Every structure is written in structure tokens, then in C-alpha cells.
Structure 1
Amino acid sequence: MSYSPDAARYERMVYRRCGRSGLKLPVISLGLWHNFGADGDPATKRAILRTAFDLGITHFDLANNYGPPPGSAETAFGEILASDFRGLRDELVISSKAGYEMWPGPYGSWGSRKSLIASCEQSLRRMGLEYVDIFYSHRFDPETPLEETMGALDTLVRQGKALYVGISSYNSERTRQAVAILEELGTPCLIHQPSYNMLNRWIERDGLKATLRELGVGSIAFTPLAQGMLTSRYLKGVPEGSRATQGKSLAPEMLSDHTVVALNKLNEIAEARGQTLAQMAIAWVLRDGGITSALIGASRPEQVIDCAGATGNLAFSPEEIVAIDAIAEEPHINLWAQSSEGHGERA
């Protein structure tokens, strides 16, 4: 069945300028990290993308290794893009990344010029695109000169394969270095993609959030719902069939009795605001304008609708902030702590 987007889609979303650039992003973007692999239902994938766009979500975020297997999310997205979004390319912001293991051998991972440029070429072929709007260095490579990694991003822009470039999970110090190199090359760093949510505030402790403001670099927070912890799903513990039982990125030990109690207290605050816990968690990430967009994932269209509802109330009273701060931080759940220090693998 052909798809006609909702004519009122742009009235339903809030858009923010990304750093000092001319690009505006929806305050809620859709990531295809989970649920778009070869094991996912094609009809559900299509419904999720259609629902997102109908709600004014114009930004779809991918990476070369998203699946499983790696690459399959980009392939699935490319097929739906060609069939459902034909003629709408210029209304979309499509991003991809490279830096985590994608193919065997020494060139299929990390941040060398060879790896990044080859990865971008492969991603474009899988998605059937001439260019991506944003291409990221997915993680800092401690064994490759930062000048080489940033130089590869600059080359991709000059070759017309990316309109903008960004970095992901770099700490504050390395972000300053990367931004300075890109500025000297003449290809500004558009955006940073760190993990950030009420339970995981490493970008505040590290100073990254303030650094991005100072440098005029935009930001998009992944895992704003803490891998689903900041939803109604875990208010009574770990249910069967949830991500925490599937051996994926959310380990059951992260949902201790103490954490479940905290989640229920946060849910009470959300209810008093007239929001679901997921909506409040997204609004909190976006609360002070320091984050350009919150990057959500979804396994069904209803979750996209719920998350998009966060735009109905993005303001917090000082009392609400104090109450949330007294409940919320769980430093041990930063799954990307090693990556943000330049070591380790993304789960």
C-alpha cells in the first residue's frame, strides 16, 4: 500500500538549530540500532518509520554495524526509503557512522582513513543513497592520530558523500581536539552523539555538555531512556521477554531493587506532570536547550507515539529538578564509559 505522509507532520514537532549551523533537527530523532536487523518484521519496521515521519521526526540515525547481522539495518532502511519515501529525500536527515567492528581484519574497525572512507561507501550502497546528511566517527581510536580520523571525515564532505560530520562518545578533552582539527580543515564539527539520561550523567561530570555549548557544536543524546529502564516496563522488576532478559545491552543486574524503587519514584513525578515516565525522561534530556535532540529507539509504532508526546511539556520547575536529582543518578550504568575514554567496545 502506498504511503502518503500526514500533512500536519511539521506542526507536531519542535525543531532546534544544531549548534551554530543552519541545520535544524527535530527534538526527537529515531535511531535504528535495535529492531531493524534481518530478524525483525518488515511490516513493523515500515510502520515505525511511517509513524515517526507522520509525527514530524525527520531524522533517522544508523551506523554501519547496526543489525544483526551488521549492515542489515541500513539495508532494510534503504529498501523502505526507496519504496515508501520516494520523493521525500530532501525532507529527511539521514546519518550513519563507522568505528565499531564491521568486517574481519585490521581495516574493518576503529578510525583509520581507510576504514572510515570504505565504511561510508558501503553504507551508501546499502541504503541506495548518493550521500548521507551526517557521517560520524563512532568512537575515538587511541591508536590512530586524531588528525587522520578527522581528515577522513573532511574528505567525505569534500567528496560529496556527507553534508556534515560528527563524533560520538568522545570525552570533553578529545572533543575539543577534534573540533579544532575540523575547524582548521574547513569542515566544522556539526554534532556530538553521547549517551545521556537521568541515570547516566557522565557528560555533565566530564564537562562535555558545557564544552559543546561553548564550542557551538550540536548534540544528540542516545539512550535517553536508559535502554528502556526509564519506561513503565521495569516498574515491577524484570519482565520476561524484555531487553534485560535477552542478553543484549541491558544486563539484569542493572535493575537492582534499589533501582526499581528509584524508577517508581520517578514515575510518580512523571504522573504528576501528566506524562509517562518515558516522556518525562526525554523532556529531562531536552530540558535546558543544551541537547539538540533525543535519539529514541522503538520496537513498535506505539512507542514512537508515546515518546513524541514528550514535546507537550519540556519545562521543569526547580522543585521537579531537585526531586529528580535526589532520586535519579546511577553512575554504574554508563555502558560506554570505556568508549568515552577512548577504549573498549560498544555493547
Structure 2
Amino acid sequence: MIVDQQNPAPYVPAAERYEDAQFRRCGSSGLKLSPISLGLWHNFGDDKPLAVQRGIIRRAFDRGVTHFDLANNYGPPAGSAEENFGRILRRDFSGHRDKMVISSKAGWYMWDGPYGFGGSRKYLMSSLDQSLERLGLDYVDIFYHHRPDPDTPLEESMYALRDIVASGKALYVGISSYGPQLTAEAAEIMAGEGVPLLIHQPSYSLVNRWVEQPDESGSSLLEAAADNGLGVIAFSPLAQGLLTDRYLDGVPEGSRAGSGKMNRDFLSRENLEMVAGLNEIARERGQSLAQMAIAWVLRDQGPETVTSTIIGASSVEQLDTNLDALGNLDFDTDELRRIDEIAHDAGINQWAGATESRTSAE
């Protein structure tokens, strides 16, 4: 565990943090989320100074970010992001818990043996208990099944989510990386149990548009979510850093690719030429490429508009730059046409297999 070597002054949130803040209703629920949420997938494990983590979280809250996204296996090591966030909560946000939306997830590998991954009732409930202990909380606002499990009946996973809400350990529940048909099936089960799914968290970016593509049912994920009253919160809107200006002139030290956290195959000549073309459009819009990529995910798509997108941050400066994307979320027809002519699938969707159909109970 990180040992904090600094003793910063007590945190007092910015009084004006809601003045320019934007919020979007999440699906058909009454919950509203900030259009940009802070994700703790990277940069909040024991490999980063706690003082830096604290500064990022404070700044996010000061700028109107209310949703903080975690999972049981975030780190490194797994679980450390929740532990570190819990420490920051206790020190800086103990009086502000009701002004925050805190989420966690379970589904991917977390511990050894047959009960440390998947979608079984045992795993989901045990994992949430462990997450709450690490966070130092009685409940999370949103608990997700992190990915579909082909070895577990869908009903078992959904009934576990139902009972988690009934227990008071989560206020809402959601799913992540489910395909369109499976999303509709899960939503139907939960609606029948009186605990509607709140939200779906898929990967989505300019170069990873699987959520827009119809499956064999004829529906896209965005359509399935909208039809069933789910909000959508997109992760990896920057395609794990590909949609930034960091790789236009090679692979810098300290970057995700340079530190081994990004598959360097993503940095193919074809992908980098695409990124350069998109960067030119962003420059004409007066935005960085990262800002345009975030804005594009949040653009108005009518009923299928994304509720929020999750960004990471390794510094306060990076956080501020990305939050400034909210200053221009509008795209004209010509911009969208040019983007579509340049952008193509970059092969970065590592979670594609998780969307496949699962077992149903007989």
C-alpha cells in the first residue's frame, strides 16, 4: 500500500463547482450523471503517489465531476485503486459522500480458484463485499456485472444484482460489455424483478464503433439501451491513448505504450496516419485531438446519445485539458462527414469477445 509522505491542508471543495457543471439524465431513471466521469482504471494503483491521486480527484470534484468509476481489479495490484480511493474519501470527502456517485464492478479475474471471476452469485456478492471493505463504504451507488459470463446462466447474474440492490449494498446496478441482444434479455429479466438496469458501460470511440452496429437481432447496442431505458457510459473514448497527440511523432517515454500498458500493435502506420488526419480536423475546431474524441462520443445522437464518458488522468493538467472538451460538443454535418471518411476500426476493442451470447436457464 502507498504511504502518503505529504500532509496537505484540509480539502474545501470549490464553492462554484456547480455553476458551469452539466448533467445528463441516465436512461429513464431519475439519476443524473456528469457528462465526463473520472475512471480509476489506471493511475490510482500503488505505482502512483497518493498525493497525485488526491490532487486529481479533488480537481475533478471542483470542476463538477460527480461520478467516480472503479472496479474490483483496478490497480496495480488488483484492489489497490479501491483502497487508495477509500483513503482519499475518508480524508477529503467524508462530508461529501451524498454529493458523489461511486461505482464498482466485478466480472473479470480477481482471485485464485473457481470463485474469483465470472458471473456467479457467489462471486458477484463476495466481490462486492470485498470492494466495500476496501472503499470503507456501506454501499456503492452503481454496481456492474463487468462482462457477460458464458458459463453462468444470465438469470443467475441478474438475480444476484437484484438481491444486491435489495440488500442496500448498491443503489443501482448495471452491465458492461454485453451485446445488444443480451442487453435486451438482461433488461427484461430485471424489469420483471422490479429492479430495472440503470446503465450499460461499453467501450466506444471514434475508432471503436461496435455499439453502433446492429447484431443478428437487427438492433445496435445504443438502440437496445435506449429501447430498454438504460443510460450508456462509454469507456476508453481515447482508444487507450491512441486518440491523442502523444504518438504523432513516435512513442514517448512514460506513455502507456512506452510503459507497456498499451499494445504497440495499435500504433500501426495505418492507425497513425488516421490519427494525423483526425488531428487536423480537431485543430480546425480549436480542440486537441483528445478533446474532439471525447466531444464526439458525447455528441447529440437523439435517443441514443451517450449519458457520460469515462476518462482517466495521470495529472491535474491532463484532467483539465480533457474536461475542457465540454466547451464544444457540437459537430456540423461537414465535420462528421470528414471524420467518417478518415476514421476506421483500429483493432483496439480487446473486450469484443465478452459481448457474445451466454447461457440461459432452462
Name the structure 1 match of 2:316.
301
Q: Which residue of 2 aligns with 1:117?
A: 125
1:171-182 pair list within 5 angstroms: 171-182=179-190
Amino acid corresponding to residue 321 of structure 2 in structure 1: D
Aligned-partner SS, 1:272: helix
Is 2:149–2:354's contact at 8 Å kept on the other side of the alignment? no
Residue 232 of structure 1: aligned partner: 245
Q: CA shift at 1:10, angstroms?
A: 1.2
Q: Name the residue aligned to 1:219.
A: 232
Report the Cα offset of residue 342 of structure 1: 5.5
1:269 aligns with 2:262: no
Q: Tell me, yes or no, if the aligned pair for 1:139 and 1:342 is still in contact at 8 Å.
A: no
Looking at structure 1, the residues matched to 75 and 237 of structure 2 have their Cα atoms a distance apart, in angstroms, of 20
The runs of 5 or more residues in structure 1 that have no matched partner are none
After TM superposition, what 4+ stretches of structure 1 lie above 3 angstroms from structure 2?
Answer: none
> Conserved in 1, the CA contact under 8 Å of 2:44 and 2:81?
yes
| Corresponding position: 1:67 with 2:75 | yes
Q: What does residue 313 of structure 1 align with? A: 328
Counterpart position of 1:149: 157
Shift of 1:12: 2.8
1:243 alignment partner in structure 2: 256
Unaligned runs of 5+ residues in structure 2 are: 1-8, 215-219
Q: Render the CA deviation track for 1:194-225: whole Å, top value 9, x for unaligned.
A: 00000000111141011111222101000001
Deviation at 1:245, TM superposition (A): 2.4
One-letter amino acid matched to 1:65: N
Query: What secondary structure, in the 3-state scheme, does the structure 2 residue paired with 1:116 have?
Result: helix
Cα deviation code 1:121-172 (max 9, x no counterpart): 1101100101000000000010111000000000010000000000000000
1:42 and 2:50 equivalent?
Answer: yes
Q: Does 1:130 align with 2:138?
A: yes
Task: Give the 3-state SS of the residue equivalent to 1:264 in structure 2.
Answer: helix
TM-score, normalization by structure 1: 0.97
1:242-293 CA-to-partner distances (Å, cap 9, x unmatched) read: 1112222x21111111211111111111111111111110100010251000
Root-mean-square deviation over aligned CA pairs? 1.1
Do the aligned residues in 1 keep the contact of 2:161 with 2:173 (CA within 8 Å)? yes
Equivalents in 2 of 1:331, 1:42: separation in Å? 34
Please give the secondary structure, in 2, of the residue aligned with 1:67.
coil
Contact 2:36 2:308 in 1 (8 A): yes
SS of the residue 1:233 aligns to: coil
Would you say 1:163 and 2:176 are equivalent positions?
no
Amino acid at match of 1:243: R
Aligned-partner Cα distance in 2 for 1:280–1:47: 25
Q: What residue number does 2:34 align with?
A: 26
Kindly state the Cα deviation for residue 177 of structure 1 after the two structures are TM-superposed.
Answer: 0.7
Distance 1:342 1:72, change over 3 A: farther
SS in 1 for 2:347: helix
Give the Cα–Cα distance (whole angstroms) in 2 for the partners of residues 12 and 303 of structure 1: 19
Decide whether the 8 Å contact of 1:283 with 1:313 is kept in 2: yes
Which residue matches 1:53?
A: 61
Q: Distance in 2 between matches of 1:141 and 1:253?
A: 27
TM-score, normalization by structure 2:
0.93
Identity %: 59
For 2:113, the equivalent position in structure 1 comes to 105
